[in-house]
Chain A
């Protein structure tokens, strides 16, 4: 597996990847090993994870925030506008506001050493268009690079194979 995350990097993670990290039980480890950043909207979207029995488990991200392990940032309208001007007409409309916000901040260069972690095909496709593929990482890839082990099955969209299939 190709190593992407170098020491000193930070991880800009989207809502679904954060929920998956929580489901795998590795969220706190992830936040301990590197600086984790979320867009304000994605943070609101990552509300809970529902297990196979239908029980909802709150993510309680405010705890990580208060401990300083998770940073939440807001995109400005000019950052959003800059992203829009680089994506093909109508592309943004297939992304949700949370993904748009995080991609805007990534594209504006606000986090020069941040890797964008997502399992969403559309968001990863956007990285390709923005020529930011070197700054994209699958959740599996991020966990591998940070030497975080997990025993549960990772959903396909968060695997390195799925990520590679999209960027190919």
Chain B
């Protein structure tokens, strides 16, 4: 028995404490109940096998090699818009591990994006609605989101600003800023317009993330920070100069059809609720009208009817760029097939099937290349 097991045991314990897990919980999640005893590993009495370690690492959402050789990486905080009801720590660690893997692939492929988002960060604290509005106006120009910002926001943040955008099924939007750069987690089960609003909301947190690596949110007024993020998102996605003319074109004799309001929301890629609140804040609708309309069954029905057309299928679990980076690394021999399967959380036997969902084929010849000047 080597004494190498002792530090491994300590790291298992450390990773467990990040998740607030008991040993029983860990063993249950790893499928090792009754087969392993962490205390024995810590004492050097029992050595875990490679397979057991890989199961533990996966359950703990840490890298196998970090658990084996150490140290465990220091991870940044995750700011949730609405925390998952169950195991928020686990889903935060899951998100962070995915971001670390993404960054690992970027480094392998020499494609680490510049952190251009920090150039857009607010130089002064955003403490009130006016500041949030100003920040939205300031960033919309360099972001070049066009006349309907919701349509371009995700692509611009991913491609030009290196924001890692993941989709999960727990919680309602989260953001983090680590060594891997800025990252956002969205809920894949939400409507596309809700996801876009969440993305804009999380962008606010990334733009106001403090330099000491923590999201800015006063413990005394977390709700207020969230309201400021919503204000920022509404101003970014529904810019006054675009929304008001579009709205006024639809108004006849001081009235606007429900149908037109619903279509306007879809056109701007936001929910009808977000649109109407924004119009209320721009003094184009009264609070009373907004409340009545949102509660009106006829309006709700029109809203529902317009959804399927615009509700494209749920986003895939992995960002396309992440999969493409992993695939390219594998095809070039920089990453093993097994490691790629691990990163895509799939069995080796199913790897090609998973890749095909991203338009990739393991058996395709990717050897061709050109000299670039």
Q: Which A residues are closer than 8 A to B by beta carbons?
A: 14-16, 19, 39-41, 44-50, 54, 56, 74-78, 80-81, 84, 92-101, 119-123, 125, 155-157, 166
Question: Do A81 and B4 touch across chains, with their CB atoms under 8 A apart?
Answer: yes
**B63 proximity list for chain A (CB < 8 A):** 93
Question: Do B4 and A77 touch across chains, with their CB atoms under 8 A apart?
Answer: yes
Query: B347 within 8 Å of A by Cβ?
Result: yes
Taking A45-B347, A96-B342, A120-B337 as known contacts, 11 extra A-B pairs with beta carbons closer than 8 A to each other, sorted by chain A number, are A14-B338, A16-B348, A40-B50, A56-B349, A96-B339, A96-B341, A97-B338, A122-B333, A123-B336, A156-B363, A157-B337
Determine the distance from Cα of A125 to Cα of B53 in the docked complex, in whole angstroms: 24
**A93 proximity list for chain B (CB < 8 A):** 63, 65, 104, 339
**A125 proximity list for chain B (CB < 8 A):** 333
Determine the distance from Cα of A123 to Cα of B340 in the docked complex, in whole angstroms: 13
Q: How far is the CB of A160 from chain B (nearest CB, A)?
A: 17
Determine the distance from Cα of A95 to Cα of B342 in the docked complex, in whole angstroms: 10
**A47 proximity list for chain B (CB < 8 A):** 347-349
Query: B358 within 8 Å of A by Cβ?
Result: no
Determine the distance from Cα of A99 to Cα of B68 in the docked complex, in whole angstroms: 15
**A50 proximity list for chain B (CB < 8 A):** 349-350, 352-353
Q: How far is the CB of A100 from chain B (nearest CB, A)?
A: 7
Query: B69 within 8 Å of A by Cβ?
Result: yes
Question: Do B347 and A94 touch across chains, with their CB atoms under 8 A apart?
Answer: no
Question: Do B50 and A94 touch across chains, with their CB atoms under 8 A apart?
Answer: no
**A49 proximity list for chain B (CB < 8 A):** 349
Interchain residue pairs with CB less than 8 A apart (14): A14-B338, A40-B50, A44-B51, A45-B347, A54-B353, A74-B50, A77-B5, A78-B2, A96-B342, A97-B54, A100-B50, A119-B337, A122-B336, A123-B336
Residue in B4, B108, B349 whose beta carbon sits within 8 Å of that of A19 in the complex? B349
Closest to B335 in A: A94
Q: How far is the CB of A118 from chain B (nearest CB, A)?
A: 9
Which applies to chain A's interface (DSSP): helix, strand, loop or mixed? helix
**A99 proximity list for chain B (CB < 8 A):** 336, 338
Query: B47 within 8 Å of A by Cβ?
Result: yes
Question: Do B348 and A80 touch across chains, with their CB atoms under 8 A apart?
Answer: no
**B349 proximity list for chain A (CB < 8 A):** 19, 47-50, 56
Question: Do B49 and A74 touch across chains, with their CB atoms under 8 A apart?
Answer: yes
Question: Do A92 and B65 touch across chains, with their CB atoms under 8 A apart?
Answer: yes
Determine the distance from Cα of A120 to Cα of B47 in the docked complex, in whole angstroms: 28
Question: Size class of B's contact patch?
Answer: 35 or more
Question: Do B336 and A96 touch across chains, with their CB atoms under 8 A apart?
Answer: yes
**A81 proximity list for chain B (CB < 8 A):** 2, 4
B82-110 interface code vs A (CB 8 A; 1 in, 0 out): 00000000000000000000001000100
Closest to A93 in B: B65
Determine the distance from Cα of A132 to Cα of B238 in the docked complex, in whole angstroms: 63
Question: Do A97 and B336 touch across chains, with their CB atoms under 8 A apart?
Answer: no
Query: B150 within 8 Å of A by Cβ?
Result: no
Nearest 7 Cβ contacts at the A-B interface: A96-B338, A121-B333, A77-B4, A122-B336, A101-B50, A97-B54, A78-B2
Determine the distance from Cα of A48 to Cα of B341 in the docked complex, in whole angstroms: 14
Query: B64 within 8 Å of A by Cβ?
Result: yes
Residue in A19, A41, A77, A84 whose beta carbon sits within 8 Å of that of B54 in the complex? A41
**B337 proximity list for chain A (CB < 8 A):** 16, 96, 119-120, 157
Determine the distance from Cα of A84 to Cα of B329 in the docked complex, in whole angstroms: 21
Query: B334 within 8 Å of A by Cβ?
Result: yes
Query: B78 within 8 Å of A by Cβ?
Result: no
Determine the distance from Cα of A19 to Cα of B338 in the docked complex, in whole angstroms: 12
Question: Do B2 and A77 touch across chains, with their CB atoms under 8 A apart?
Answer: yes
Query: B8 within 8 Å of A by Cβ?
Result: yes
**A48 proximity list for chain B (CB < 8 A):** 347, 349
Determine the distance from Cα of A166 to Cα of B333 in the docked complex, in whole angstroms: 9
Closest to A157 in B: B337
**A76 proximity list for chain B (CB < 8 A):** 2, 47
Question: Do B2 and A94 touch across chains, with their CB atoms under 8 A apart?
Answer: no
Determine the distance from Cα of A74 to Cα of B53 in the docked complex, in whole angstroms: 12
**B2 proximity list for chain A (CB < 8 A):** 76-78, 81
Q: How far is the CB of A122 from chain B (nearest CB, A)?
A: 4
Residue in A14, A19, A97 whose beta carbon sits within 8 Å of that of B50 in the complex? A97
Question: Do B336 and A45 touch across chains, with their CB atoms under 8 A apart?
Answer: no
Question: Do A77 and B51 touch across chains, with their CB atoms under 8 A apart?
Answer: no
Closest to B365 in A: A156
**B108 proximity list for chain A (CB < 8 A):** 94
Q: How far is the CB of A35 from chain B (nearest CB, A)?
A: 21
Question: Do A95 and B336 touch across chains, with their CB atoms under 8 A apart?
Answer: yes
**A80 proximity list for chain B (CB < 8 A):** 50, 68
